[in-house]
Amino acid sequence: MLLKQAFSPLVDLIYPPRCPTCGDAVGEHGGLCLSCWSKLVIPGEPCCASCQRPFGSEEIKEGSLCAPCLAKPPRHDGISAATLYNDTSRKLVLAFKHGRKIALAKLLARLMLARLPELKGDWLVVPVPLYRRRLWERGFNQSALLAREIAHSRGKSLLVDGLIRTRATPSLGGLGRKERASVLAGAIAVNPARSERIKGAQVLLVDDVMTSGATSDACIRAIRKAGARKVRISCFARVLDEAL
- Sequence-ordered list of residues with C-beta below 8 angstroms from that of 15, at least 6 positions apart, any chain: 29
pLDDT tier for residue 58 given thresholds of 50, 70 and 90: low
Count up the domains in the chain and report the number: 2
Statement to judge: residues 25 and 128 lie in one domain: no
pLDDT tens-digit series, residues 131-153:
999 999 999 999 999 999 999 99
Statement to judge: residues 29 and 55 lie in one domain: no
Report for 23-32, 96-105, 106-115: range of highest mean pLDDT: 106-115
Residue 25 CB-density burial (10 A; 0-12 exposed, 13-18 middle, 19+ buried):
exposed
Statement to judge: residues 107 and 154 lie in one domain: yes
Q: What is the pTM of this model?
A: 0.88
Average pLDDT over residues 64-90: 92
Statement to judge: residues 113 and 166 lie in one domain: yes
Statement to judge: residues 105 and 225 lie in one domain: yes
pLDDT of residue 8: 44
Statement to judge: residues 31 and 55 lie in one domain: no
pLDDT of residue 12: 46
Percent of the chain predicted with pLDDT > 90: 59
Q: Which amino acid is at 198?
A: I
Q: 156: domain CATH number?
A: 3.40.50.2020
Statement to judge: residues 11 and 120 lie in one domain: no
Statement to judge: residues 10 and 108 lie in one domain: no
The 3-state DSSP class for residue 157 equals strand
pLDDT tier for residue 188 given thresholds of 50, 70 and 90: very high
Q: Determine the structural domain holding residue 34 and report its residue range.
A: 1-39
5 pLDDT exceeds 70? Answer: no
CB atoms within 10 A of CB 161: 14
Statement to judge: residues 51 and 27 lie in one domain: no
Statement to judge: residues 14 and 119 lie in one domain: no
- Sequence-ordered list of residues with C-beta below 8 angstroms from that of 32, at least 6 positions apart, any chain: 19, 20, 21, 26, 40, 92, 107
